[in-house]
Amino acid sequence: MTDVVWLIPALPLAGFLVLLVAGRRLGEPGAGWLATAACGGSFLATLVVYAGLLGEEEHSRSSVTTLFEWMPVGDLQVDVGFLADPLSIAMALFITGVGTLIHLYSIGYMHGDADFPKFFVYLNLFVFSMLLLVLGSNLLVTFVGWEGVGLCSYLLISFWFTDEANASAGKKAFVTNRVGDWGFLLAIFLAFATLGTVDYGELAAGAGELAGVTATAIALLLFLGATGKSAQIPLYIWLPDAMAGPTPVSALIHAATMVTGGVFLMTRVNPILAAGYDWAPDVIAWVGVVTAFVAATIAVAQNDIKKVLAYSTISQLGYMFLAVGVGAYVAAVFHMITHAFFKALLFLGSGSVIHGMGGEQDMRRMGGLRKVMPVTAATFIVGWLAIAGVPPFSGFFSKDEILLYAWGSGGAQGRALWAIGLVTALLTAYYMSRQVFMVFFGEPRWDEPVAASAGAAAADGGEAGDGTAGEAGHAEVRPHESPWQMTVPLVVLAVLSAVGEVINLPFTDDLHFLERWLHPVVGANEAHIDVATGTKWALAVGAAVLALVGILVAAAVYLRRRVRAVEPSVLAHAWYYDEAITRFAGGPGTRFFEAVAWFDAHVVDGAVNGVAALVRTGGRRLRAVQSGFVRSYALGISAGVVVLLGYFIARLYV
């Protein structure tokens, strides 16, 4: 049954093509339903393949279906093939499953938008690219999907392209990812040059023969790619800005699927990581945990409902990289899946709130919404408890698993990783509770003007972007519950967030379903920790207590108003990282990411400062050369002649 694996990406591709041709004719809601059906069909196909794999013996649960010979490279041949194995199917299951729910949700959310069909064109293209990414049988097919999701992300963020903020955010996403892609491509070439293959099966088999330095280089270059796609330090700046796009996009791309691509990649190449130097995984673990912590601190002081979730996503992805770094691949995938459930839920819930509030995104203008939006509130609260790490919701178990492995990785480093992770868990509980209390509890503040001093954080991009544009007038806000297409996905995701932990319960070995499922792929390089059962319980109880502490503190601050809120402006401004980059945009190293926006403001708008100034001061001579005078061009050519001749003559006598 595994040979129908090609159907999984083919259905969204077919949906994309049909919508591209006939999208306008199908109109609303036809185009939306078609796209949803394509994604749903893909989910069913994934189930079939899953069943097929289950029927196999554990060691033979891996099959490559080659579609066609793709391209000859030197003496090698690269095929377009799909790899159906436990890891790729686990990914495909939640991508298509959550993807279908988000498609359904979008039908309600995008209601009335002039570009309704086009939105679904992109959405299906995205699902196709993402499936290509996870199902590809070699690095190159994965790379095609990798670029494809980046492109879709860019297109979907700039969906309302008349909006300058969106277009700029889209560009930031594209260019930052391009830097990451550069690392990815270098890794591919390096694998080519040393192992002569990019096929996952052959890479895993040949990784052992790699020199330590080469394996480390490939792994870290892939990790550079992963930091771009999965928004880790230092390439994370695009993700908060990407929230300018429509909310279902944020849910699908920037929470549930695309951003996990980096974690998937690192899990996929675990044999290479294992063949490298020991410090390479440590780098990944530290980047992960520091990102988790920094992003959590920033989330504490955001007022835009989506930006809180954006930084929270960065933080949770940091946990996953921490897991990869300490060799807890199963825990990484486990958290990836539960995160897909609860973060999609939270994003869609926030979209429902924004929809009900008529486009408002500032949490200071919300409050008391649980009375008017009961379904949204109830489901959001489930998502909140899941991410905050309250047992028995799913997030508690997956996060606890990661912290356990961090603790178990031993030494002072293991303790440090664990401690930072734990503090981050506390912060997570705190900022998520803050969000829930500000949005759904307390007094309604729907018509209150926001204090001018606090406007800064909301103003930088998020405010302008979202929602069913046009009805955002502040005259009188009457929040209302969203239509069934939106609430049904919320309920389904809430159930999954609540019980998603059953795929890998820690209590007895019999309950480690996910671990056994993934064993053929990661088993060989999975870390084995030796922690006493009592310690395990102590760690789990400690984490749970800490989560409750976080919630109680937030309640004291934002619900009871007993304590004054501490929201330092340094956190509201995301540690000034973004601004710092902007300020030093002239520097060569930073030019490629944030300076993009800076370039744009100065060059696209035709102002002769900015880059032009750079060129003028730095390259006055260069300008003089490109003067338009034939004589100076001839001089330039002559100079070239002299250099060339000089070189050859020098070769003669040296």
CA nearest to 491, candidates 506, 478, 481: 481
Tokens 């309604």 map to which residue?
444
CB of 4 to another protein, least distance (A): 21
CB of 154 to another protein, least distance (A): 8
Site residues, another protein (CB under 8 A):
68-74, 143-144, 147-148, 151, 158, 161-162, 164, 167, 170-171, 174-175, 178-179, 182, 185-186, 189, 192-193, 592, 596, 599-600, 603-604, 606, 611-612, 615, 622, 625-626, 628, 630, 632-634, 636-637, 639-641, 643-645, 647-649, 651-652
Q: Which residues pair with 277 in a beta bridge?
A: none
Q: Residue 158 and residue 245: Cα distance in Å, rounded?
A: 7
CB of 71 to another protein, least distance (A): 5
Q: Which residues contact 275 (CB under 8 A, 6 or more apart)?
A: 207, 208, 210, 212, 215
Count of beta carbons in the 10 Å neighbourhood of residue 440? 24
Looking at beta carbons only, is 507 or 653 nearer to another protein? 653
SS3 string, 75-102, reads CEEEEEEEEECHHHHHHHHHHHHHHHHH
Q: What's the token pair of residue 361?
A: 């995104």
CB of 152 to another protein, least distance (A): 12
CB of 586 to another protein, least distance (A): 14
Looking at beta carbons only, is 54 or 73 nearer to another protein? 73
CB of 325 to another protein, least distance (A): 26
CB of 605 to another protein, least distance (A): 10
Looking at beta carbons only, is 167 or 496 nearer to another protein? 167
Give DSSP secondary structure letters for 8-43.
HHHHHHHHHHHHHHHHHHHHHHHHHHHHHHHHHHHH
Q: Residue 521 and residue 269: Cα distance in Å, rounded?
A: 10
Looking at beta carbons only, is 158 or 398 nearer to another protein? 158
Q: What's the token pair of residue 237?
A: 């700046």
Q: Residue 295 and residue 317: Cα distance in Å, rounded?
A: 10
Q: What's the token pair of residue 250?
A: 């944020």
Torsion sign (Cα): 564, 293, 230, 393: negative
Q: What's the token pair of residue 520?
A: 């053929």
CB-facing half-sphere around the CA of 87: CA atoms within 13 A: 28
Q: What's the token pair of residue 13?
A: 């591709």
Looking at beta carbons only, is 105 or 598 nearer to another protein? 598
Looking at beta carbons only, is 524 or 641 nearer to another protein? 641
Looking at beta carbons only, is 92 or 140 nearer to another protein? 140
Q: At what angle do helices 116-135 and 261-268 cross, to 10 degrees?
A: 10
CB of 647 to another protein, least distance (A): 6
CB of 649 to another protein, least distance (A): 7
CA nearest to 94, candidates 232, 265, 315, 264: 264
CB of 195 to another protein, least distance (A): 13
CB of 279 to another protein, least distance (A): 23
Please answer whether residues 11 and 45 qualify as being in contact, where contact means their C-beta atoms are separated by less than 8 angstroms.
Answer: yes
Q: Residue 352 and residue 494: Cα distance in Å, rounded?
A: 14
Looking at beta carbons only, is 73 or 459 nearer to another protein? 73
Looking at beta carbons only, is 4 or 615 nearer to another protein? 615
Looking at beta carbons only, is 214 or 316 nearer to another protein? 214
Looking at beta carbons only, is 208 or 640 nearer to another protein? 640
CB-facing half-sphere around the CA of 515: CA atoms within 13 A: 20
Helix, strand counts (H, E) of the chain? 28, 2
